[in-house]
Structure 1
């Protein structure tokens, strides 16, 4: 039921609330960017080159499976409390990750971080959706989308600075003051109407089955053809477990009173299309930011700090395009062409990145990265807007969480699949050049930081660099295939009017005025 109208809140208070929400989004995004830049040094310190992709995968997977749960909890219990709870869980994971003494511990603590991160993005976007009607939401989406390029610029730069001048553990400790600030701002400024209705019912079985199914799928994609043969009992077993768990999840969701992922929403065409597009965007984005720093530091010889700066073109492209797209969407009410343009531009960008080799200059690779960023700018805010505009107000939380969930799953599978390809190309190159002796550098916890690679004998170093280039080319070729599928899907998005209903605002049950141009 729509909240009664009262006097509109001031713009100052509105933007103060937005600032707290954007800090929460920044936390979720900044961490992965910092860690991606610091990973070569972390691997050199803790070992476990063959597990390095799991430092990212554990985070994105935990974030993905917890996202729909946070979204549903916010629909049931209230958005403010769940948003603040997710910040607390994220901060606990950050503090623990900084104390890691092994790669296994780091992966486990990153999973705790991911559990909290799953509620940060969906909580912020769902709160914003309650405060701003869809017709005006394009401008707000542009503001929130701007956090991503800021995180992607600041994250790699900060991660590089920490790696070069401090200790990599500060890549995790730096989250603590930001998180405390977000808690303070949101706690002091945000007040949404209380949820009405009876006792909430939590879909525990659905949550457990979804976690089991997605976890098995990521392991299947990660280990298949690398750690285990495709026909091995381990991979076949994971494949069967994935199918059974997800089938059971569908069965449960059709029968429980409060499903964490209402399947009837997928009968809405635009909702389904936006979820697929979000998946494709996540696959390409996480692939780029997870592996490009490796190439830039080891092949192009950039320092950790400079490799962060070399991602600046991607972030600049995202920032400019997402801001313009948000403004155009709010002024015209039209959005259908943006996913089409975005997927087309991203496909071009990923194909350009397949041309990276041992002699590619930083300037050339930056131009390629700029194209990827521009494509992402067309997609990131638009997919959330399409999903939210497709559902009723009471489903805003689960709609937002599903779009975020799809993007996170795309990222999890992207890092897992592309990481597996990347590692296998390096191993193949080392084995081809050095025989069985080459495996000591890439398996069993081999510890190869950029500085160590510089000191290797020329044949070993050349083999390693050749494998890294082959891996980079392969992962972006596969990314281009996925984005091409997204381009086809984007044509099925229908052009529907953006709604302009009255929603709850902060402070009291108020109507929020349109955002200023």
Structure 2
């Protein structure tokens, strides 16, 4: 494909990616208002985010395997259609349970859009040239991430629109992507007659991951971490995982080819993606609570204040992709990204509700630079070492571990935030004669008396900082693992030859 042909097809992929990421980020600043209207608490806040990540994580291996067997164009059109249906109905939600269920449907479509975009890009472009175009994906990711909270905040603060439009606004982009991809994306069909999908493997990996995520979300709230429920759920997840490995070793077309993990690059890239996902999601999810509940900002200003992080992500992904295409070298970007990611998380662990915004902005920018240098380049490293027939499985595997890490991180850190807020607020609130610690329900700060509001702002500021302190070791672990990834020259062809 010529550059012009690639750019025409890429425009459809970018529209689909924009819609997918927009749906994930647009609700972050709106969630305090949404859950206040729907009468949901901190657990519902976590689950609205986790539900989408859960569906994305569980479905990515299946989307990746289907891409190796069937028409990639048809698959991404199906993913877009699922996303549109889930978004339209999610806007009609009348309860937290209904909203969470529809977020699962959205997540199924988003998982296909994110995974298939990487796979289709790899099918069109050889690895040596892919860094340049991967930068466009990274920039789109960043643009959707920054516009999502901004648009979500404006919609939430605009009385004649309301938060339900947070779910409707991505639909036009998805429909436009459907039209553009139908007209411009031309890939050879790879349908292989007689091949059967490994449905048993898909079901087992989905059940194992889902059970583990449900456990980390409910533990410490509905039951103790050390309880029979915890042992049963963790034991069940491990047993399902072991059964999945057994099934995959005997499947003719495994949903996750375990032989790929024999390659050190893929194994390490997957592990690093898992750890990067924790740090990445902690920034995009919990900053809304920090700015709105700890600093008293509106939903709109909450989005504006996250711009430094997004600028860092955009600049890092675009510049690193361009330079990788020119030089063919990619490992040093992963190392520098790991250093910045660790530094950003550690410094954000020092913030409080009254920390000068200039300091917070610098720390957020470091976090964004680190994510931008690592996220797309880990996928590129894995794609570079597999044959074309395993391209979909390898691409979705790295994305799978990133979203899995993010889902685990959001669930665990969300539970930690509720616990920390309760601990930090209980003493000051008790002195004021107020019962409860404030970590269960999302408070309406504007309606609270000044002293109570001050106590909760301090508690949320300190609690969000603790989240980043817990995320910092995972970022450091990802940096240490990066040193062991062997740099292999990027291929200049898409057929597996060098």
User: Would the TM-score normalized by the shorter structure come out above 0.5?
Assistant: yes
Maintained 8 Å contact 1:34/1:159: yes
Aligned equivalent of 1:141, options 134, 141, 144: 134
CA distance in 2, matches of 1:333, 1:447: 48
- Whether 1:275 and 2:270 are equivalent positions in the alignment is yes
Alignment correspondent of 1:511: none
User: So what's the TM-score if we normalise by structure 1?
Assistant: 0.92
- Counterpart of 1:361 in structure 2 is 356
2:436 to 417, 432, 439: 439
Tell me whether 1:179 sits opposite 2:174 in the alignment: yes
Q: 2:225 aligns with which of 218, 225, 230?
A: 230
For the aligned residue pairs, the C-alpha RMSD in angstroms reads 1.6
TM-score in terms of structure 2 length: 0.95
The CA distance in 2 between the partners of 1:30 and 1:159, in whole Å, is 9
Cα distance, 1:349 vs. partner?
Answer: 0.4
Match of 1:467? 459
Structure 1 distance, partners of 2:367, 2:414, is 19
Structure 2 counterparts to residues 111-130 of structure 1, below 5 A: 111-130=104-123
Q: Which moved more, 1:432-441 or 1:125-134?
A: 432-441
1:93 aligns with 2:90: no
Q: Distance in 2 between matches of 1:441 and 1:345?
A: 33
Q: What is the CA distance between 1:95 and its match in structure 2?
A: 0.8
1:500 aligns with 2:492: yes
Per the alignment, residue 512 of structure 1 pairs with: none
Which of 221, 230, 245 is the aligned partner of 1:250? 245
Structure 2 gap segments, 5+ residues each: none
2:338 — aligned with what? 343
Per the alignment, in what secondary structure is the counterpart of residue 146 of structure 1? helix
Q: Secondary structure at the match of 1:230?
A: coil
Matched, 1:395 2:387: no
| Separation in structure 1 between the aligned mates of residue 11 and residue 27 of structure 2, nearest angstrom | 24
Q: Which of 477, 480, 483 lines up with 2:475 in the alignment? A: 483
**Aligned CA distance change for structure 1 residues 227 and 471 (closer, same or farther; 3 Å):** farther
What's the offset of the Cα at 1:459?
Answer: 4.0
Q: Distance in 2 between matches of 1:288 and 1:206?
A: 33
Three-state SS of the structure 1 residue aligned to 2:162 is coil
Give, in angstroms, the shift of residue 503 of structure 1.
4.8
Shift of 1:121: 1.0
Q: 1:39 aligned to 2:39? A: no
Q: 1:49 aligns with which of 32, 41, 50?
A: 41
Q: Name 2:19's counterpart in structure 1.
A: 27
Could you report, residue by residue, the CA deviation over 1:320-378 in whole angstroms, capped at 9, with x for unpaired residues? 11111111211111111111111111100001101111211222211110010111111
Alignment correspondent of 1:293: 288
Q: 2: distance between equivalents of 1:440 and 1:368? A: 29
What is the CA deviation profile of residues 281-317 of structure 1, one whole-angstrom value per residue up to 9, with x for unaligned ones? 2111111110011111122222211111111111111
Gaps of 5+ in 1: 1-8, 505-517
Tell me how far apart the structure 2 counterparts of residues 48 and 42 of structure 1 sit (CA, whole Å): 8
Q: CA deviation at 1:440?
A: 8.3
SS in 2 for 1:302: coil
What secondary structure does 1:193 align onto?
coil
Deviation at 1:78, TM superposition (A): 1.7
Residue pair 1:60, 1:409 contacting (<8 A) in 2 also:
yes
Pairs within 5 Å for 1:375-454: 375-434=370-429, 438-439=435-436, 442-443=439-440, 446=441, 448=443, 452-454=444-446
For the residue of structure 1 that corresponds to 2:322, the secondary structure is helix
- Distance (whole Å) between structure 1 residues aligned to residue 2 and residue 458 of structure 2: 58
Give the drift of 1:454.
Answer: 2.5
Separation in 1, partners of 2:100, 2:437: 22
What is the CA deviation profile of residues 443-483 of structure 1, one whole-angstrom value per residue up to 9, with x for unaligned ones? 4xx452xxx31321334323322321231121101110100
Within 1, Cα distance between the matches of 2:26 and 2:50? 15
- In structure 2, how many angstroms separate the alpha carbons of the residues matched to 1:171 and 1:243? 37
Matched, 1:199 2:191: no
CA distance in 2, matches of 1:147, 1:107: 26
> 1:190 matched to which residue of 2?
185
Alignment length (residue pairs) = 491
> Hey, what's the Cα distance between the residues in 1 that align with 2:336 and 2:268?
15
